[in-house]
Structure 1
Amino acid sequence: MITRFRIALIILLLVLWTLVLLPVQLLALQYDWRVRRTLPRYWHRVACYLLGIRIRVHGKLETRRPLMLASNHVSWKDIMVLGAVADVAYIAKSEVANWPVFGWLAKWQKTVFVEREQKRKTGEQVNEVADRLAGGEIIVLFPEGTTSDGNRLLDIKSSLFGAASAAVPSAPDGVVYVQPVTLAYTGIYGMPMGRYHRPIAAWPGDVQLVPHLMGVLKAEALEVDVDFGEVVEFRKETNRKVAAATVVSRMRQMLRNRLRPPNP
């Protein structure tokens, strides 16, 4: 009974918090006010607090622009976690736009929806991301293209880094900065989280959303470590595949060190 009451209270508070911020965000989107970039961060911070997601940040967000973040992808919770620590927008597959609740939230944060099956639209989508980067926005790329089990980094699609290369001509100094970021869900109920409990945090594609969401609500306390790594510079003469491989290599090492710390 207490668990049901707590879950109902969390949902109610999230709805109320959304209704408070939504009118301002909709106006900001319509008139392209700068506040549209910062307002979602406050929503995500409160959402993480209510859901019991505790965030530990290691390293620093790059201050130079244009900036793209390349992050591993474990769950829909990644959106809230990264959104709570930085003013970011996301690149997501087009199907997300039609998801209940999460699709609306993605649109309100001005997510770039990518239709991977329609090659003729690829150029338009890359140009949109490039324009947003050149405009000073921080764009988050999940180069795995899907969610993982949280224990490893999946194979990377280097073509997704094309937007960073496309933004180089518009960059003030001819450089686009790509910063590797990793999210590692490492704790539950104040205890270290091993492989057995990580499915509570992870959301592989074959798991239904509602049961997974209820599991997160019942868990009460999840801990996640966000690591910001060393930036890779994309310039006019940069080989995209080589630069992407460098980003991925740093992501793998950061995630490995966080999940399986080296012995002292």
Structure 2
Amino acid sequence: MSVWLPTAPCTPQGCGTHAGPAVGVTAAAARLLTGISLLVTGVLLAPLLSPLGAALRDRLTRRWARALLRAFGLRIRFAGAPFARRGGPMLVVANHISWLDIPLIAAVFPGRMLAKSEIRSWPVLGRVAAGGGTLFVERERLRALPGTVRTLATALSEGSRVIVFPEGCTWCGREQGRFTSAVFQAALDAAADVRPVRITYRTPSGARSSAPAFVGDDTLLASLWRVAKAGGLTAEIAVLPPIPAGSHTDRRSLALDAQTAVASDSANRPASSVHQWVKAIPASASSALTPS
């Protein structure tokens, strides 16, 4: 790995823990099988969504993402500011903990993800990502960064909603990394709003759980099984007020503003103390970007 790439101190051994209840092996296996089945269904149906209108495509994507999270036993809690389903171009930026972050954001903001190129080769998930219009970045090639920014700016200029994890790597959720500023240049170039969101995974008591964390040398299979075994998980997404286009003139101040918003106290409170605009839905990998 290149020395200039962002890194986190988190490891599966030190951070991949869950203080809540655990489910039995049979129930965990059933969750895993159901979840993988939904992923495969997403792969098969993704090409059929392309001809549909944007509103219908978004609605179906949100339903699929929520079903996938519920299949793994997670409750979903939405909190924070109301937002428009569709509108002008928008760069959605979030902290990054797990592969679960992707369907969690899709449950609210269906759009085009920016992900590391290695995800393209992942079994099942890679096909889902590519079929969903994911924009891939070669993190090891610093020279590819300007082209990635241009691609993002073009997508935004065409009216797309683009989702990015600017930390550049996954963290366990107890701490947050610095937001690298490169992607924010695309928002400036395209005159797009920036929408910060905060992702948190919680136990039944409301404490943070790092069982979903996909960090360090973790494998996708080990992470899938750890999530399937964890009982009472809630996936919480706090939608924060947008940063309007034109409010910043340089990418570094824009990145710092978004990072500060995501790390703010109001974003870190349990959802019970934050205005909830959507009722909680009961339960039935390291991606992203290059530094500035």
Instruction: Name the TM tier (shorter chain).
Output: 0.7 to 0.9
1:219-238 deviation per Cα after TM superposition (whole angstroms, max 9, x unaligned): 13311221111211233972
Match of 1:87 in 2: 110
Decide which of 175, 193, 206 is 1:177's aligned counterpart.
Answer: 193
Which whole-Å deviations, capped at 9, do the CAs of 1:147-199 have from their partners, x for residues lacking one?
0011121122112212212222xxxxxxx100111011122xx22334xxx33
Deviation at 1:45, TM superposition (A): 1.1
Deviations 1:23-81 (A, max 9, x none): 4421444x686455553322211111111111111123543421111100011111111
Indicate the SS of the match to 2:24. Answer: helix
CA 1:249 to 1:214, structure 2 compared with 1: closer, same or farther past 3 Å? Answer: same
Picking from 154, 175, 186, the partner of 2:202 is 186
Contact 1:62-1:179 within 8 A present in 2 as well: no
Distance 1:242 1:118, change over 3 A: same
Match of 1:102 among 106, 110, 125: 125
1:204 to 215, 218, 221: 215
User: d(CA) in 1 for partners of 2:119 and 2:266?
Assistant: 26
Query: Does residue 1:56 correspond to 2:77, yes or no?
Result: yes
* CA separation of 1:44 and 1:254: change in aligned 2, threshold 3 A: farther
Q: Determine which of 224, 230, 238 is the counterpart of 2:235.
A: 224
Q: Which runs of 5+ in 2 are unaligned?
A: 1-22, 274-292
Kindly indicate whether residue 150 of structure 2 is the aligned counterpart of residue 124 of structure 1: no
Q: Equivalent of 2:173, from 147, 150, 167?
A: 150
**Alpha-carbon distance between aligned partners in 2 of 1:66 and 1:163, rounded to the nearest angstrom:** 11
Say whether 1:258 aligns with 2:269. Answer: yes
Identity %: 29
CA shift in 2, pair 1:261/1:86, >3 Å: closer
1:245 correspondence with 2:256: yes
Q: Secondary structure at the match of 1:191?
A: coil
Give the TM-score, by structure 2 length: 0.74
* Mapped partners of 2:168, 2:255: distance in 1: 14
CA distance in 2, matches of 1:41, 1:149: 25
In the alignment, the residues of structure 2 paired with residue 61 and residue 93 of structure 1 have an alpha-carbon distance, to the nearest angstrom, of 30
Greater displacement, 177-186 / 223-232? 223-232
| Length-normalised TM-score, structure 1 | 0.82
CA gap 1:254/1:158 in 2 versus in 1, 3 angstroms: farther
Q: 2: distance between equivalents of 1:150 and 1:237?
A: 28
Q: In 1, distance between residues paired with 2:263 and 2:123? A: 32
Mapped to 2, the partners of 1:24 and 1:96 lie a distance apart of 19
The amino acid that maps onto 1:52 is G
1:134-145 maps to which residues of 2 (within 5 A)?
Answer: 134-145=157-168
Give the partner amino acid of 1:214: W
Q: Which structure has the highest helix share of the two?
A: 1
The answer as to whether partners of 1:40 and 1:109 remain within 8 angstroms in 2 is: no
CA contact 1:151–1:259 (8 Å) conserved in 2: no
Displacement of 1:21 after TM fit?
4.9
Q: Distance in 1 between matches of 2:164 and 2:177?
A: 14
Which residue matches 1:42? 63
The alignment yields a C-alpha RMSD, in angstroms, of 2.8
Counterpart in the other structure of 1:171:
none
Distance 1:116 1:211, change over 3 A: closer
Contact 1:53 1:221 in 2 (8 A): yes
Structure 1, unaligned stretches of length 5 or more? 169-175
For the residue of structure 2 that corresponds to 1:123, the secondary structure is helix
Query: How many angstroms apart in 1 are the aligned matches of 2:223 and 2:101?
Result: 14
CA shift in 2, pair 1:61/1:145, >3 Å: farther
